[in-house]
Amino acid sequence: MTKDDTGDQKGGAKKGGVFGRLFERGRETPAPETPVPEAARSEPGQPLAQAAGPAMPVEAPAGTAAANLFNEPAQAVREGGRAETPEVQGDAPPGGWFQRLRSGLSKTSTQLTSGLTGLFTKRRLDPETLDDLEDVLIQADLGIATAMRITEKLSGGRFEKGISPEEVRNILSAEVEAVLAPVARPLEVPRGHKPHVVLMVGVNGAGKTTTIGKLAAQFRARGLDVMVAAGDTFRAAAVDQLRVWAERTGARFIASDNGADAAGLAFDALQQAKAAGVDVVLVDTAGRLQNKAALMDELEKIVRVMKKIDATAPHDVSLVLDATTGQNAMRQVEVFRQRAGVTGLVMTKLDGTARGGILVAIAEAHKLPIHAVGVGESVGDLAAFDAKEFAEAIAAA
C-alpha cells in the first residue's frame, strides 16, 4: 500500500474509530472502532466539501504577550468585537474549584486514606508496616518511585514510637506536590505567531472534542480569531459537536466529507488559516488506540503534512487522557509522545475512578507539562492544573 503525505492513500481502507472553567454539556461517549469505508479524500489546497461558515470578526487585545487559557477568568464579552460566550445548561456544583477537585478525587483519596488508617491506627511503624504502606500507594497508581520515596521518608527513625495517619497524609501530600509542581503548566499561546496550531490527540472517548470546544470558547473570550478543524472525519457526531461550538463562539469551522483524509483536512485548514490571518487553529483527531500501527501512522502523517505549511507546526500537541484507564494511560503517553511528539497533557474523568494517582506516576516518568484536569461533566469541572491543590485533595481524609 502506498501513501501520499498530502492526501490520497491508495489500495486500501482505514480504520478509526485547556480550558478555563467553561461550558460542558456532557462527556463524550467512547465510540467503538468500526471498519471505515474507503474514503474520498480531499487534495490539500483544494476547497473542502464542507467549508467553514463566516466567523465573527475579532480584534486581539493589544499589549498582551500570550493568552493564558487558565489563569484568566473567562467572561462573556458583548462589546468591543469579542465573542459572546454560549449559553449552556448545567451549572457547576456549589463550592469553589478546590471543593470540586476534592470531591472529584474522593474515590482516590478514600482508597488511600482508608488504607493508611487501617495501617497506622493499630500497628507500629515497623518494616512490615512500611511494606504494606508501599503496597497501598502502588495500588493507588502513584508509581513505584513515589511509593518508595514516601516509605523511605517514614523509615528514617523519627517515628520509632509510631505515627498517626494524619502525619502520613501530610508526608504523602508533600511528596506528591514535589513531583507535580515542576510540570504544572497552563497552556499559553504567544501572540507573535499566526496561526498557533494546537493538535489534540488521544484514544477513543477521552474527551478530545469537548476539550476543543472549550478551547475555542476560551480563545474567543480572549478576543482571538479561532479556526476549528474537524479532523475526526470518521465520526459524524464529533463533526456536528464541533460545528455547534463554532457557531456559538463565532469560531471559523472547517470540515470535510465523512471518511476523508484527516491529513488533507489539516493541510487545508492550516493553509486557509494562514491566508486569513487566523490566530489559533484547533485540530481534532480521531480517537485511536496506541497499539494500532496504521492509525498511529496516520497521526504521524497529519503532523508531517502540517509542516509543509509551517515547519514549526503543530506548536502544541496535547494528549487527552482518561483517568479511568489507570496504568494504560502510562502506555498511551509513551506511544503518543514517540509517534506524535506530545508536548502536554490533559487528564479527564478523575471523578470516575480510584486511580487518580496515575497522574503522579506519569509526571514522575515523563516530566511532561500538565495543562488541566477534569473532575466532572458540569461547567467549572475542568480547570488549570495546580500541583498543591491536587496533592492536598488526593491526601484528604
Q: Where are the domains of the chain?
A: 41-54+96-397
**pLDDT score of 26:** 34
Judge whether 283 and 231 are in contact, CB under 8 Å. yes
> For the segment 4-47, what is each residue's pLDDT rounded down to a tens digit?
454 443 333 333 333 333 333 333 333 333 333 333 333 333 33
Give 96 or 256, the one with higher predicted confidence.
256
pLDDT-based confidence at residue 197 (cuts at 50, 70, 90)? very high
Give 288 or 254, the one with higher predicted confidence.
254
> For the segment 226-240, what is each residue's pLDDT rounded down to a tens digit?
999 999 988 899 899
Q: How far is it, in rounded angstroms, from Cα 98 to Cα 96?
A: 6
CATH code reported for the domain at 41-54+96-397: 3.40.50.300
The count of residues in the chain is 397
Judge whether 291 and 308 are in contact, CB under 8 Å. no
> For the segment 82-128, what is each residue's pLDDT rounded down to a tens digit?
333 333 333 444 567 888 888 888 888 888 878 877 777 656 677 88
**pLDDT score of 69:** 52
Q: What is the mean pLDDT of the chain?
A: 75
For the residues of 242-286, what is the DSSP string, one character each?
A: HHHHHHHHT-EEEB-STT--HHHHHHHHHHHHHHHT-SEEEE---
Q: Determine phi and psi for 76, rounding to 5 degrees.
A: -85, 110
> For the segment 265-307, what is each residue's pLDDT rounded down to a tens digit?
999 999 999 999 999 999 999 888 766 778 888 889 999 999 9
Matching residue, cell 514549526: 312
Residue 259: closest CA among 5, 53, 8:
8
pLDDT-based confidence at residue 188 (cuts at 50, 70, 90)? confident
Average pLDDT for 150-163: 72
On the question of pLDDT at 140 being above 60, the answer is yes
**pLDDT score of 36:** 30
**pLDDT score of 164:** 77
Q: How far is it, in rounded angstroms, from Cα 134 to Cα 310?
A: 48
Residue 180: closest CA among 250, 99, 105:
105
**pLDDT score of 291:** 66
Q: How far is it, in rounded angstroms, from Cα 70 to Cα 218?
A: 9
Q: Are strands 15-16 and 34-35 parallel, antiparallel or unpaired?
A: antiparallel
**pLDDT score of 44:** 35
Residues whose CB is less than 8 angstroms from the CB of residue 156 and which lie 6 or more positions away in sequence, other chains included: none
What one-character DSSP code corresponds to residue 74? P
Residue 245: closest CA among 253, 237, 233, 254:
253
